[in-house]
Amino acid sequence: MNIIGLEVSTSAAKCTLYSVAAGLVDTVEIPFDASVTDKRTQDPEGMVAVALRALKELVGRTTTDIAAIGLVGTWHSLLLLDEQARPLGPISMWADLSAASTVAELKKDGSLVRDYYQRTGCMTHAMYPSYKYYHLARTAPERVKRARFLSSQVEYLYFVLTGERAVSRCTASGTGLFNLHSLDWDDDLLSFVGVRRQQLAELKEVFHWGRLRAAVAQEVGLKEGTPVTVGAADGAMNQVAVGAAQGGMMSLSVGTSAAMRLVVDIPTLPQQPSTWCYYLYGGRYLAGAATNGANCVDWFLDQYGFRSHGYAELSRQAAQVDVQTAPLFLPFIYGERCPGWDEDRPGGFVGLKAQHGPAEMYYAILEGVLFNLYQCYGILTEVAETPERIFISGGIMHSSFWLQLACDLLGRELWTTGTKHDSTTGAILVALASVVGESEITPAEKARVACRPSSLARTELLQARFRKYLAFYHATEGLW
């Protein structure tokens, strides 16, 4: 049996062929160019076109029959559709924080923030679609009046492929309109935001699938009616791919953004809003945290003209840096997600001196991203549990220096399945389970150790620097 995983991320469309007999066989990845995305928004038609091009290219390179397609996309996107389900503008992605000014007013009501958080697992933050819509209703009312339906990135792709309006509870749990306890849209929150139930798609489990439309099937070279899963979020599918959907395991991914997740049996949140909790499937939840990641690295390379140096060369130079005298970096140049959820919080270097050059600054950025994650790790393990294993994935796997830095900071072994695109693989495994009628999922690849801590002394050094980072973090809290 052969399954295709089709992922639309922040920056690219990825398509992978998986064979039950041979494992992962082939992958096509096509980056979105500037006409499709500015990293904060995406052109929906452009996104679909690139996804179909990747699918067509992959299908054209195989002669095997395809049993199903598993979809995966990003969490926290919003797309308005008219009465013919045509886009009314771009997709607002998680990085679009244009609603921050509106949300800032709502944050003044502490009881609203806490109630919303405990109901949905989502903070009052401009990242979430609920508040994106709330903001649009006040700043672009004419556009909102024309919106017959609300959708998301992967939801729209599923609609184009199958003609069915549906959304997985997994994807829906990242909207801020989904009640974690009832596993349904929350009527009180819908009323508060100004959304009608009829505007939202029918909720399904991740194993639900529709049939590939004839026109799309002909375009990409597949059979009409090929099963297509309803789609889920990349972070959730990452958890599935590494075999961490059963509990006791943490997935840690560092790509454009960074996140860590633990499976829990009930909605798990601290009293003070900091980490989040979303729905996975089968009565399981994901407690986790998300932060900025390689977007900070790319900002540095692009803004200061170091793109031509390349990641490998800068990492080589960073490995020679005197860590004890290096500056610190607060990785909030795109605002803060976990744990403080301050959209307007600025980032920057602390302790930067004249003798510091690109190598020291590059090192500080890599370290700062990890410090933000480590801060969240402490909160998450307090409210949930300390994981038996930590599985790491994402772009960090291409940087042995950054990977070792993460391992040394945590002071723990880091594991991997060895697959390049864990979230795409997770979508494949869900699709496979869907067509064979199973609800438990076995990882596609066996786990192995990716990295071991260098030494206790190195871990103690980094954790001492983390405490200094934490001091600066708290000292600048609310300053802006």
pLDDT reported for residue 445: 65
pLDDT reported for residue 76: 96
Query: What does the DSSP assignment read for 92-158?
Result: E-TT--TTHHHHHHHTT-HHHHHHHHHHHS--S-TTSHHHHHHHHHHH-HHHHHT--EEE-HHHHHH
What does the pLDDT look like over 338-370, one tens digit per residue? 999 998 899 999 999 999 999 999 999 999 999
SS3 state at 9? coil
Q: Residue 278: pLDDT above 90?
A: yes
Q: How far apart are CA 176 and CA 332, in angstroms?
A: 23
Instruction: Report phi then psi at 451, rounded to 5.
Output: -160, 145
Q: If we measure between CA atoms, which residue out of 70, 384, 376, 69 comes closest to residue 253? A: 376
Residues 231 and 249 in one domain: no
pLDDT reported for residue 439: 62
Q: Residue 420: pLDDT above 80?
A: no
Residues 216 and 268 in one domain: no
What does the pLDDT look like over 57-99, one tens digit per residue? 999 999 999 999 999 999 999 999 999 999 999 999 998 999 9
pLDDT reported for residue 437: 80
Q: Residue 443: pLDDT above 70?
A: no
What does the pLDDT look like over 89-137, one tens digit per residue? 999 999 899 999 999 999 999 999 999 999 999 999 999 999 999 999 9
Tell me the C-alpha to C-alpha distance, in Å, between residue 128 and each of 78, 167, 272, 380, 403: 8, 16, 18, 20, 30
Please count the structural domains in the chain.
2
pLDDT reported for residue 444: 58
Q: Residue 164: pLDDT above 90?
A: yes
Residues 7 and 146 in one domain: yes
What does the pLDDT look like over 383-418, one tens digit per residue? 888 999 999 988 899 899 999 999 999 999 999 887
pLDDT above 70 as % of the chain: 99
Which domain CATH number covers 192? 3.30.420.40
**Cis peptide preceding 327, ω within 30 of 0:** no
Q: Is residue 353 part of a domain?
A: yes
Q: Residue 36: pLDDT above 90?
A: yes
What does the pLDDT look like over 301-326, one tens digit per residue? 988 888 877 788 999 999 999 999 99
Residues 77 and 186 in one domain: yes
Cα Rg of the chain, angstroms: 22
Query: Residue 351: how many CA atoms within 13 Å on its side-chain side?
Result: 18
What does the pLDDT look like over 173-224, one tens digit per residue? 999 999 999 999 999 999 999 999 999 999 999 999 999 999 999 999 999 9
Residues 252 and 345 in one domain: yes
| Tokens encoding 313 | 């060369």
Boundary (domain end) residue, out of 235, 254, 281 = 235
CA 158 to chain centre: 18
Query: What does the DSSP assignment read for 448-477?
Result: EEEE--S-HHHHHHHHHHHHHHHHHHHHTT
Residues 199 and 260 in one domain: no
Q: Residue 461: pLDDT above 70?
A: yes
pLDDT reported for residue 243: 80
What pLDDT band is residue 53 in, cutting at 50, 70 and 90? very high
pTM of whole model > 0.85? Answer: yes
Question: In terms of residue numbers, what domain contains 309?
Answer: 244-416+447-480
SS3 state at 278? strand
E strands within 353-410? 389-393
pLDDT reported for residue 284: 94
Residues 169 and 304 in one domain: no
Q: Is residue 430 part of a domain?
A: no
